[in-house]
A and B are shown apart, each in its own frame.
Chain A
Amino acid sequence: MILSTEKGVAQYVSDANANGRKLRIQGGGTRQALGNPCQSNAVLSTAGLNNISLYEPSALTIVAASGTPLADIEKELLAEGQRLPFEPMDHRGLLGSTGTPTIGGVVACNISGPARIQAGACRDSLIGIRMVDGTGAVIKNGGRVMKNVTGYDLVKLMAGSFGTLGVLTEVAFKVLPAPETSATVLVEGLSDEQAIAAMSAGLTAPYGVSGAAHISKDRTTLIRVEGFEKSVAYRVSQLQSVLAPLGEASIVSNDNLWKSVRDVEPFHALDTAVWRISVPPSDGAKVAKTLEASNDTVQIIYDWGGGLIWASTPDDLDVRAALNGISGYAECVRGTHIKRLPQNAAIARIEKGLRAKFDPNGILNAGIMG
């Protein structure tokens, strides 16, 4: 069912709750594979909730209905020289999905990209939501101002909740000026350990690095700076000297490099499982080594200075075991493994308790988060 008003969503969910009908919540349907298998009797599509209801460039604020295509929002922002700060990834290439990514889907899955290392995740820019809980009640939290500590922050709780606490109907963001220009320092020939040291050197220098990635197979390390023309020129040249002891660094200006990292393009054509692992950056190479030692077809791409590992592996490899005491988590993004698991028993119990409160009959994306 495609619904085009919040009231319609509330009625539909309320009926489903009364009838014990389990719903699959869907925006553009491009990221469905990110969740665990989900029990459902019907699909609730938010694609009809399509409207930018407020955009105030001088207040750095945009508010949109959850089914609004991400591309529409990005276009509207760009016309005023602004952008979403967190550089959301497009999953279509990696997951082989089709459809139109919606802003609600981005929020429900808390989707970010390379800029997350500096500008924060989707949840950090999200400042308000409206939602329909599992009983059909319409709930708002946060608002349209970027500083707001009035009551509990359910905004954060909704980001990345995969629709299990409620159906998002409206989302509000703090946006940022789009940079005048960007440039990338490219270092070639580094090992994983050296690359992580190089990225760390970049991120701990005072030059506002907004992206730090390493493509292991190509031994290519990328460190990005964005801003005003003169400033970027200065900063990349400073970074070049910082990195000089670690390897020869050249300056390139190719945004497609970052789209490739953001969307994990090197893995698109591979017929493998893909995992997303978040760990402290200096543990990144250790995890990758363990994976590579267990199978020689494993490929690794690092983002977030080494803290985010994209691993292409044979489908039967248990990647979670490779963490082996290292703090962090691994999510299966593509493949047959269970996609996501709670980090520990106490957290699992709290999550279960919250879901039982917001969706007492378990009708919203049941089972999708494990």
Chain B
Amino acid sequence: MEMPKPNKQVLMRKAHILRRLQDVLPENAVIFEEQEVRAYECDALTAYRCPPMIAVLPSSTEEVSAVLKICHEEDVPVVPRGSGTSLAGGALPTSDCVILGVARMNAVLETNYDDRYIRVQSGRTNLSVTGAVEQNDFFYAPDPSSQLACAIAGNVAMNSGGAHCLKYGVTTNNLLGVKIVMMDGEVVEIGGAYLDSTGLDLLGVICGSEGQLGVVTEATLRILRKPEGARPVLMGFDSNEVAGACVSDIIKAGVLPVAIEFMDRPCVEAVEDFAKAGYPEAEAVLIVEVEGSDAEIDDQLEKIKKIALKHKPVELRESKSEEESAAIWAGRKAAFGAMGRINDYMCLDGTIPVNELPKVLHRIGEMSEKYGLKVANVFHAGDGNMHPLILFDANKPGDLELCEEFGAEVLRLCVEVGGCLTGEHGVGVEKRDLMLTQYSEIDLEAQMKVKDVFDPKWLLNAAKVFPLASSDDRRLI
């Protein structure tokens, strides 16, 4: 992975920059020893590593502001970091950068059930936002797989999704406001505990900007009352095509399940070995979950089962108890772990129009044969967000490169059928160099103009999202 050459002027002034940062932060908030900064050398995209020059762990918006002001004055690149769970290398450092981690800022600042919002510091983990309100039967809807560890800061940066966003939307649909620190240290409040804004939708463009526009230190999030209940049904089909057609028919029938998850045979087999979830022998397994009272769930599942039966499922298993529901979900939730146990894998995240599902799965199967690498598919079928897992052996020379080539071909296919490179993981460094398959130089120029306004010196996470050749002129300023 090509990264910009480090700024020698910055590296030479490391001692001076360090002193300035130590002046504004407590001693334990500045990390600079070579052994210690190594802890920040990568995120969940572990194939790429680079220790930062310095890492700082501020405890307040004021401290974040002081750090950014210094870095701005000293022309030091800054890479913001939530919990470091990005699968796209969103928090991958450069050797001349300051990693700004918000993990110590994890407080709940305000909870208001009547007005249905919570205000938190951005280092708080996704799951612990729900944790703070669930005693009152509320929850925060976006539920990325990494929700136990991932921070709201990263969720906002990547506009994270999850299994339940078919019904509840992704982060941007549940974010009401932010406190953001601009690269020059200015603190700006955008949005709040009310709906929409009167001017340009700055909140909308900040969410999903991969930490390139500012450092979000606080977020106001919409919380929702939990439904009375939820129950999944599991279906097995003897081909991906039939399963895909069943998904289309369910959606067309006017039933909007809260989640529709899809697993193909390789995935189901790996999951069975690992989690023993009792999944059927089938080419494709769907998990469809609906919410409501018991009677409402019965009613919706009746409709769904009727549709499924038309597609002659090899198995149709409705949960009868909480234990059975948990068992149905256990396999899906263990899918990534199960794959990780048998192989190294690369997780793709392209999204396609739902009706293209059978065709795309077929093409991925052909590519798998061509490259000689196995693929397991597990994904959010309701919204077309695929997660093909390409298996490779990191110890085998050339396998990673082959896998990346395969991955790129899959993503190009996603774009070709009307979809996109990434549905919820973000571009980061991983898909940076594929951006021109989806967007023209002019389209990217428009996006980069937004960064010009927020971060004129291009210091914030600047080696991400845009192909280096496209952003070169800006970063050299």
Residues of chain A touching chain B, judged by Cβ–Cβ distance below 8 Å, are 56-61, 80-81, 110, 112, 116-117, 120-121, 123-124, 133, 137-141, 143-157, 159-161, 165, 176-178, 180, 197, 200, 203-206, 208, 228, 230-231, 234, 278-282, 304, 307-308, 327-329, 331, 340-344, 346-348, 350-351, 353-354, 357-358, 369-370
Contact = CB atoms under 8 A, between A and B. Distances in A.
A182 B420 CA distance: 36
B172 A280 contact: no
B260 to A, nearest CB: 12
B389 to A, nearest CB: 18
Interface string B155-174: 00011010001000110110
B201 A159 contact: yes
A204 B117 CA distance: 11
Contact of B204 (A57, A60, A156, A351): A156
B383 A145 contact: yes
Given A157-B204, A346-B186, A331 B198 contact: yes
A152 B435 contact: no
20 contacts: A141-B443, A143-B420, A143-B438, A147-B161, A149-B161, A150-B427, A153-B159, A165-B200, A178-B254, A200-B114, A203-B225, A204-B225, A206-B137, A206-B228, A278-B195, A344-B188, A350-B188, A350-B453, A354-B449, A357-B450
Contact of B188 (A138, A161, A347): A347
B218 to A, nearest CB: 13
A152 B205 contact: yes
B12 interface: no
Interface stretch (B65-73, B275-283, B348-356): B348-356
A121 B419 contact: no
A351 B447 contact: no
A124 B203 CA distance: 12
A265 to B, nearest CB: 21
A178 B451 CA distance: 39
A282 B355 contact: no
B418 interface: yes
B296 interface: yes
Contact of B112 (A152, A154, A155, A282): A282
Contact of B200 (A141, A161, A205): A161
B423 interface: yes
B309 interface: no
Interface centre among A124, A340, A348, A351, by most chain B C-beta atoms within 10 angstroms, is A124
A234 B296 contact: yes
Contacts of B351: 145-148
Contact of A124 (B169, B292, B299): B169
B435 A151 contact: yes
Given A148-B351, A152-B450, A143 B200 contact: no
B191 to A, nearest CB: 9
B172 A141 contact: no
Contacts of B226: 206
A176 B252 CA distance: 10
A369 B442 contact: no
B252 A57 contact: yes
Given A145-B353, A346-B188, A161 B201 contact: yes
Interface residues of B, number: 93
Interface centre among B253, B424, B449, by most chain A C-beta atoms within 10 angstroms, is B449
A121 B196 CA distance: 8
Given A153-B172, A200-B114, A110 B420 contact: no
A141 B446 contact: yes
Given A137-B442, A148-B351, A152-B208, A280 B202 contact: no
Contacts of A354: 200, 449-450, 453
Contact of A230 (B169, B299, B425): B299
A307 B114 CA distance: 11
A160 B201 contact: yes
A13 B420 CA distance: 29
A203 B114 CA distance: 8
Contact of B195 (A81, A121, A139, A208): A121
A156 B190 contact: no
A58 B199 contact: no
A261 B454 CA distance: 39
Interface of B: 112-117, 137-138, 158-159, 161, 165, 169-170, 172-173, 186, 188-190, 192-205, 207-209, 225-228, 248-249, 251-256, 292-293, 295-296, 299-300, 351-355, 380, 383-385, 418-427, 431, 435, 438-440, 442-447, 449-454, 465-466
A102 B193 CA distance: 31
Contact of B426 (A149, A154, A208, A370): A149
Contacts of B227: 206, 208
Contacts of A156: 172, 201, 203-205, 207
Contacts of B452: 357
Given A137-B442, A147-B423, A177-B251, 5 more contacts: A58-B249, A147-B384, A149-B208, A154-B205, A231-B292
A192 B138 CA distance: 26
B226 to A, nearest CB: 6
Interface centre among B138, B194, B451, B465, by most chain A C-beta atoms within 10 angstroms, is B194
A133 B446 contact: yes
B430 to A, nearest CB: 12
A148 B423 CA distance: 4
Nearest to B385: A147
Contacts of A157: 200-202, 204-205, 450
Contacts of B453: 350, 353-354, 357
A308 B195 contact: yes
Contact of A146 (B115, B293, B383, B431): B383
A293 to B, nearest CB: 22
A60 B251 contact: yes
Given A149-B159, A347-B188, A280 B193 contact: yes
Contact of B419 (A143, A341, A369): A143
Nearest to A281: B115
A335 B222 CA distance: 33
A153 B207 contact: yes
B195 A307 contact: yes
Nearest to B249: A58
B102 to A, nearest CB: 20
Given A120-B173, A200-B114, A234-B293, A341 B198 contact: yes
Given A120-B169, A147-B385, A206-B225, A58 B200 contact: no
A293 B420 CA distance: 54
B208 A351 contact: no
A327 B119 CA distance: 14
A330 to B, nearest CB: 8
Given A178-B254, A340-B198, A140 B443 contact: yes
Nearest to A277: B194
Given A150-B435, A151-B447, A282-B112, A144 B195 contact: no
A58 B252 contact: yes
Contact of B383 (A80, A121, A147): A147
B335 to A, nearest CB: 18
Nearest to A60: B251
A150 B204 contact: no
Contacts of B192: 280, 327-328
Interface centre among A58, A208, A308, by most chain B C-beta atoms within 10 angstroms, is A58
